[in-house]
Amino acid sequence: MEKDSKIFIAGHNGMVGSAVLRALTAAGFSNIITKNRAELNLENQVEVNSFFKTQKPFAVIDAAARVGGILANNTSPYPFLMDNLKIQNNLIDAAHNNGVQKFIFLGSSCIYPKMAQQPIKEEYLLTGSLEPTNQWYAIAKIAGVKACEAIRKQFNKDYVSLMPTNLYGPFDNFDLESSHVLPAMIRKFHEAKIEGHSTVTLWGSGKPMREFLHVDDMAQGVLFAVNNELPEHLYNVGYGSDVTIKQLAEIVQQTVGHNGEIVWDSTKPDGTPRKLLDSGKLMSMGFSPTIDLETGIAQTYEWFLKHQNNFRALDLKELTKEREF
Ligand SMILES: NC(=O)C1=CN([C@@H]2O[C@H](COP(=O)(O)OP(=O)(O)OC[C@H]3O[C@@H](n4cnc5c(N)ncnc54)[C@H](OP(=O)(O)O)[C@@H]3O)[C@@H](O)[C@H]2O)C=CC1
Ligand SMILES: C[C@H]1O[C@H](OP(=O)(O)OP(=O)(O)OC[C@H]2O[C@@H](n3cnc4c(=O)[nH]c(N)nc43)[C@H](O)[C@@H]2O)[C@@H](O)[C@@H](O)C1=O
């Protein structure tokens, strides 16, 4: 792709979108367009169609979605299903109808069956039942993968899906109700240290395993897909190894410098027991993550310390309202 090709990054204010914007800018891409939610509500089909008709981007990176941790997913199934379907349908369909040559759709490792063989290969998609806590979000993401695959098959366009593992890094959501586990742990251990609390309560049993990829490594994966026409429709993007939630807690606790006991709240769900991705397909083509978990957590904690008065938070109450355009 030419450095001056017009690229639309949807969701550029989010954790992934902002990392992709940094990576593409650093790589010399000079014609990137972005719109915040007030300028372009991606759930609104009329607005999205009109934007694509006017702008005619060459490529689209879809990093916009309704995103949240296990509790938000489990308690607000409808917006996690419907908002994601709306956003991705509007983007994919408008892209297809307005000459977009390259579309990069971001899904999630939760699209794979709950009890999938580990590490999870791309071909395990749709071979078993989903994890109940995030099946709503997963069904939407699977529909996005299939929409891109269908366009690729029928119209021979370079529409590709990347499936990231659990991500973390700068501009994450640190809200304790709606966030993913890693930012929640950073905030919980930090606040316990500052407020002198000897115990920190974490969710579930601590036994599930998760694979964590720093968002700047993820952005390199997206850059790789921008620079190369990938031969298949679906690629996993992971770090290559995983840890238990208990091990993660110990790394975060040590990084933050909290001394004390961890209490496990068994009323909260564990979610899927393990979801280690086999990212061999993308790695064999040249993608290679560079940020190990300890370094990434230390860097993210530093970022948190600088930005802790300015968190992004998902308003769980807003997810219970009916909305119309
Ligand atoms: N975080 C993770 O661990 C993982 C993320 N992913 C995927 O990566 C992608 C990005 O996730 P992440 O960066 O973490 O999520 P964020 O919540 O950080 O960012 C999502 C972005 O989408 C925007 N957005 C959402 N709804 C709309 C809308 N209706 N109109 C316009 N903009 C909208 C948000 O805008 P606003 O800033 O206004 O809210 C935000 O900028 C998603 O597809 C997600 O599924 C996959 C696996 C793991
Ligand atoms: C990326 C991925 O993210 C989500 O799936 P998840 O990995 O299950 O989500 P999570 O990061 O919130 O939790 C991981 C594990 O950690 C445990 N845990 C402990 N203590 C806290 C805690 O304080 N907060 C949170 N959130 N979890 C905690 C928690 O009980 C669970 O066992 C989905 O959105 C899914 O759709 C998706 O795509």
The closest alpha carbon to 140, from 87, 103, 178, belongs to 87
Asked whether 166 lines ligand 1 (CB < 6 A), one says yes
**Which ligand ends up closest to the CA of 90?**
1
Contact yes or no for 121/109 (Cβ under 8 A): no
Give pLDDT tens digits for 108-163.
999 999 999 999 999 999 999 999 999 999 999 999 999 999 999 999 999 999 99
List the catalytic residue out of 112, 137, 168, 235.
Answer: 137
The closest alpha carbon to 235, from 145, 128, 129, belongs to 145
Domains in the chain, CATH or no CATH each = 7-320 (3.40.50.720)
User: What ipTM does this complex have?
Assistant: 0.99
The closest alpha carbon to 67, from 110, 124, 113, belongs to 110
Does 137 qualify as catalytic in the annotation? yes
Task: Give the torsion sign (CA, 179, 60, 27, 225).
Answer: positive
pLDDT of residue 308: 82
Q: What residue has token string 């509007």?
A: 90
The closest alpha carbon to 245, from 288, 190, 203, belongs to 203
Question: Helix or strand or coil: residue 174?
Answer: coil
**CA 16 to ligand 1 center in whole angstroms:** 7
Q: In whole angstroms, how large is the CA radius of gyration of the chain?
A: 19
Asked whether 90 lines ligand 2 (CB < 6 A), one says no
**CA 318 to ligand 1 center in whole angstroms:** 16
181, 187, 244: residue to mutate for ligand 2 pocket, most atoms within 8 A of CB:
181
Distance CA 17, CA 58 (A): 18
Query: Which stretches within the chain are classed as H helix?
Result: 15-26, 45-55, 70-75, 77-97, 135-155, 181-195, 215-227, 245-256, 280-285, 293-307
pLDDT of residue 17: 97
N residues, the chain: 325
Give this prediction's pTM. Answer: 0.97
Within 10 angstroms of residue 98's Cβ, the number of other Cβ atoms is: 16
C-alpha distances in Å from residue 248, one per residue of 242, 297, 321: 9, 10, 35
pLDDT of residue 113: 98
pLDDT of residue 318: 65
**CA 239 to ligand 2 center in whole angstroms:** 17
Give pLDDT tens digits for 265-297.
999 999 999 999 999 999 999 999 999 999 999
pLDDT of residue 301: 97
Sorted by sequence, the CB contacts under 8 Å of residue 156 that are 6+ apart come out as none
**Which ligand ends up closest to the CA of 75?**
2
Q: What residue has token string 């530093």?
A: 302
Annotated binding-site ranges for NADP(+): 11-17, 106-109, 141, 164-167, 180
**Which ligand ends up closest to the CA of 175?**
2
**CA 197 to ligand 1 center in whole angstroms:** 33
Where the chain has pLDDT below 50, the residues are 325
Contact yes or no for 144/64 (Cβ under 8 A): no
